Structure 1
Amino acid sequence: MTTFWPWLSLAGLGAFHGVNPAMGWLFAVALGLHRQSRRVVWLSLIPIVIGHALSVATVLAVVVAFGSTLDPSAFRVGAAILILGVAAYMALYGHRHRVRVGMTTGLAGLALWSFLMATSHGAGLMLVPAVLSLCVADHAGELVMASSLPVSLAAVAVHSGAMLIVTAVLSLAVFTWFDLAILRSAWINFDRLWTLALGVTGVALLIQ
């Protein structure tokens, strides 16, 4: 059970990213409606997930690289401070500082947008507690990271897979039965939810 919950949290965060229109499905629907093609909606999912996965993988690569050289407590506190810093930035400026990519961009531009959006939102940072609990062991004050690379790759796969499923379902549902006008009457401020989630994660790392 102790190893089940981190995987569940990785999938849950992927699902949350999939629900968030800022992470991709809004672009997929917009491109599909612009070109009047369901196939475009399907194709848009590929660069969206690739860009997001690359952003998350980059963060986890840094965790693996530095996690093996730092004291466990110092590394955890450093990660918590970084996460809280991103949460503070999102609370102050997140809604005003956006990645500017047009709604008629191509697939390459969509991948770049997805990568930058996930990075600016601190998406990879949210996975750090779960990945640390899976691949970091504290034995006599030393970090054991022998299985960190395969675990990190698996974490990216689980997270990205959950995001892909949710993004695909939402994109196709909105494209088929609704249109972008639904957002005017059914909108949730995901930026605030995401900022709150970052803050909770940072505090949890500090008091762990």
Structure 2
Amino acid sequence: MNTATEGAALWLAVAALGAWHGLNPAMGWPLAVANGLMAHRAAALFGTLLPLAAGHLMAMAVVLLPFAAASGLLAWQQPIRIGAGLLVAAFGAWRLVNRRHPRCLARVRPTQVALWSFLMATAHGAGLMLLPFALGLCMPAAQAPLPAAAGIAAAAAVAAVHTGAMFAAGLGAAWAVYRWLGLGTLSRSWMDLDAVWGASLVLAGAASVGMAL
């Protein structure tokens, strides 16, 4: 795979993962719908989605920026990407076996939406899922290693694109339920996505390893 093709594939993966995170109810869009319905205005829906996206962005940045800043490791980009992919797959396998959520999430007050989003994304390994693909953009194999500042800028762009896709997908799902379907649809058709999420982590890890080889 040439550099341009790999770069396009990695950016597509970053955006697709963002959309998947946004559609996943565990990332919070049902909370936005509930707030919108209780307030009887769409502004409450947007007002909830924005801090949800901000918390998600922080969770991505906490994972991505330290790796991007480690300029001394860029020469080892392929082993790092492979190791990160294997770590993602292992975490996904663990999530398939253990689906319990940390108790600390239940202690976050309803008004602390951004903090809740940050903790939920971290607990689900959302940033970890994105890491191998982001490393491919921050540590290009076919080019000279990026300076630390350039790597950080690339990681910030990855987090922003990913969160933008997450926000757009979550907004689409929330608006459809708020405007047309109603929360009753969720109670009638709710499905436990923990198994799907764990499987997607395994697949994302495997895909990132394949792209790094």
**Pairwise same-fold verdict (TM > 0.5):** yes
* Distance in structure 2 (CA, Å) of the matches to 1:197 and 1:58: 21
Instruction: Using the TM superposition, give the Cα deviation of residue 19 of structure 1 relative to its aligned residue in structure 2, in angstroms.
Output: 0.8
TM-score w.r.t. length of structure 2:
0.84
Question: Mean alpha-carbon deviation: is it higher for 18-27 or for 197-206?
Answer: 197-206
Task: Tell me, yes or no, if the aligned pair for 1:68 and 1:144 is still in contact at 8 Å.
Answer: no
Question: Helix, strand or coil: the match of 1:100?
Answer: helix
* Distance in structure 2 (CA, Å) of the matches to 1:101 and 1:173: 29
Instruction: Using the TM superposition, give the Cα deviation of residue 26 of structure 1 relative to its aligned residue in structure 2, in angstroms.
Output: 0.7
Task: Tell me, yes or no, if the aligned pair for 1:48 and 1:110 is still in contact at 8 Å.
Answer: yes
Residue equivalent to 2:157? 154
Question: Helix, strand or coil: the match of 1:94?
Answer: coil
In the alignment of these two chains, the number of paired residues is: 203
Residue equivalent to 1:84? 89
Amino acid across the alignment from 2:22:
G
* Distance in structure 2 (CA, Å) of the matches to 1:96 and 1:13: 21
Residue equivalent to 1:54? 58
Task: Tell me, yes or no, if the aligned pair for 1:11 and 1:158 is still in contact at 8 Å.
Answer: yes
1:21 and 2:22 aligned: no
Distance 1:19 1:138, change over 3 A: closer
Compare the two structures and name the one with the higher helix fraction: 2
Residue equivalent to 1:135? 138
Question: Helix, strand or coil: the match of 1:68?
Answer: helix
Instruction: Using the TM superposition, give the Cα deviation of residue 67 of structure 1 relative to its aligned residue in structure 2, in angstroms.
Output: 6.2
Instruction: Using the TM superposition, give the Cα deviation of residue 101 of structure 1 relative to its aligned residue in structure 2, in angstroms.
Output: 5.6
* Distance in structure 1 (CA, Å) of the matches to 2:196 and 2:72: 32
Residue equivalent to 2:194? 191
Task: Tell me, yes or no, if the aligned pair for 2:88 and 2:205 is still in contact at 8 Å.
Answer: yes
Task: Tell me, yes or no, if the aligned pair for 1:28 and 1:44 is still in contact at 8 Å.
Answer: yes
TM-score w.r.t. length of structure 1:
0.85
Task: Tell me, yes or no, if the aligned pair for 2:69 and 2:151 is still in contact at 8 Å.
Answer: no
1:5 and 2:9 aligned: yes
Residue equivalent to 1:168? 171
Structure 1 residues 114-149: Cα deviation after superposition (integer angstroms, max 9, x where no partner)? 00010111111122222222221347xx97132312
Distance 1:73 1:165, change over 3 A: closer
Task: Tell me, yes or no, if the aligned pair for 2:18 and 2:162 is still in contact at 8 Å.
Answer: yes
Task: Tell me, yes or no, if the aligned pair for 2:36 and 2:178 is still in contact at 8 Å.
Answer: yes
After superposition, the CA RMSD in angstroms is: 2.4
Question: Mean alpha-carbon deviation: is it higher for 80-89 or for 36-45?
Answer: 80-89
Gap runs ≥5 in structure 1: none
Task: Tell me, yes or no, if the aligned pair for 1:95 and 1:191 is still in contact at 8 Å.
Answer: no
Task: Tell me, yes or no, if the aligned pair for 1:72 and 1:143 is still in contact at 8 Å.
Answer: no
* Distance in structure 2 (CA, Å) of the matches to 1:3 and 1:204: 14
Task: Tell me, yes or no, if the aligned pair for 2:91 and 2:125 is still in contact at 8 Å.
Answer: yes
Question: Helix, strand or coil: the match of 1:137?
Answer: coil
Residue equivalent to 2:145? 144
Instruction: Using the TM superposition, give the Cα deviation of residue 78 of structure 1 relative to its aligned residue in structure 2, in angstroms.
Output: 3.1
Distance 1:204 1:173, change over 3 A: closer
Structure 1 residues 21-62: Cα deviation after superposition (integer angstroms, max 9, x where no partner)? 111211101122233332111100110000000001111012
Question: Mean alpha-carbon deviation: is it higher for 89-98 or for 7-16?
Answer: 89-98
Q: Aligned residues: percent identity? A: 35
* Distance in structure 2 (CA, Å) of the matches to 1:81 and 1:3: 21
Question: Helix, strand or coil: the match of 2:195?
Answer: helix
